[in-house]
Structure 1
Amino acid sequence: MELFQNFLQQTITLFAIMDPIGVSAIALSLLSPNITKSQIATIAKKSTTTILIAFFVVLITGDLILKLFGIHEDSLKVMGGIILLLMAITMVRGIGSEKRSKNENNKNDEELAIIPIGIPIAFGTGLFTTIIIFKNQLSTSVEIFSLIVSFCINALLFYLVLKNSIYIKKYLGVTGQNIITKLMGLIVGALSVQFIISGIVNLTKSYL
């Protein structure tokens, strides 16, 4: 039961941070207005492959990074929480997509699939730190497998949303997409506060 609850929490958290609806809106602002269905399907496939590779790299090397730089897990929690909080504020305020579109609109569509759509828009610092934090909270191979399944489910959702982003935009409209992004921002913000408080409390105990 506890394993399922953790799995559910991880899935919802990763979904909120990844925010595929918001990412699809940003992606459409970067891509050509005349992009075809087959082109956007190819971009969705490349972007999804990118975030999957990034996930497994972080999952495998996350502990090594912490040990290499001598970073305490709780310190990462506090810093990761601050990053997520800034991200949440950006999501709630609905800013950032315009800047990205202006900076990237001179590139070919398929060149944008890996950078910046895959990294850092879909797989950014918030997702990076969250995965490392989750990994350090796990103790068994079953729990690690659960995290992998959780991310793979989100990667599949990301692929489906990005692949069908043209239809989603027509159905939801800009206002609908913004509302969903703001709701995801609230969830990410609440999670960030938990990370910050938990990290500070544990650091205080270890240094006192």
Structure 2
Amino acid sequence: MSILNKYIICVVFMDIKVLEDKLKPKGTVSIIGCGRLGVRMALDLLEVHRGGFEKIQIFDAARIDQNDVVHRKHGAKLGDYKVNFLKEFFPEKIEAFFEDINEENIEKITGDVVLIVFAGGNTLPIRKKIVEYCKNTKKVAIGTNGVFGFDPAIKIGDAKTEKGPVEFLKMESEGHLVVGTGKFIKDMEPITPYTLDEMAKHLVIESLKIKKELLKN
């Protein structure tokens, strides 16, 4: 092999190394809720290679019960905290909080991107507080807009203009991205694992796109 060819190969490898260094995991993503959707997102984010997040924050006070099939499929034990299961699964990347977000602890959210995926009861007031907190602290919040439906056709749009459950948030300004089917519980269609898988995929992809823009420098 000639000296010139060796030089070219060396330069190519150096360029690849520079690119690899630029794609090291950076930043933090916060997941608010570790239910059927939150746990899917967390596991998907852990699988991201070259360009993912360095840390994943997860907030949820709930424990694993009989109905948490997706958690149990991955080895979670009944009675364990949902977030502790993920912490033990990958302690180097997961920062677990055994609590639900409220007005008193909202400042614990430190992610560059915040994924709001909790459910159950009247979550609208605290969800709106989280969105406002993110806006005031230069974070980007992404929420859901319905998880019901037979057809996992997922829509992505702004909370101010999208139709569906997100309308109850009554957003006064644009800038809050939402992902979902746009369907309500009154539509009498179930929440299927196929829809949740599709939603997790889109939420993860959108969070990575936003992270790229936020941290590109």
Task: Say yes or no: TM over 0.5.
Answer: no
Q: Is the helix fraction higher in 1 or 2?
A: 1
TM-score by length of 2: 0.28
TM-score by length of 1: 0.29
Q: Is the strand fraction higher in 1 or 2?
A: 2
Bigger RCO (CA 8 Å, 6+ sep): 1
Could you say which structure has the larger radius of gyration? 2
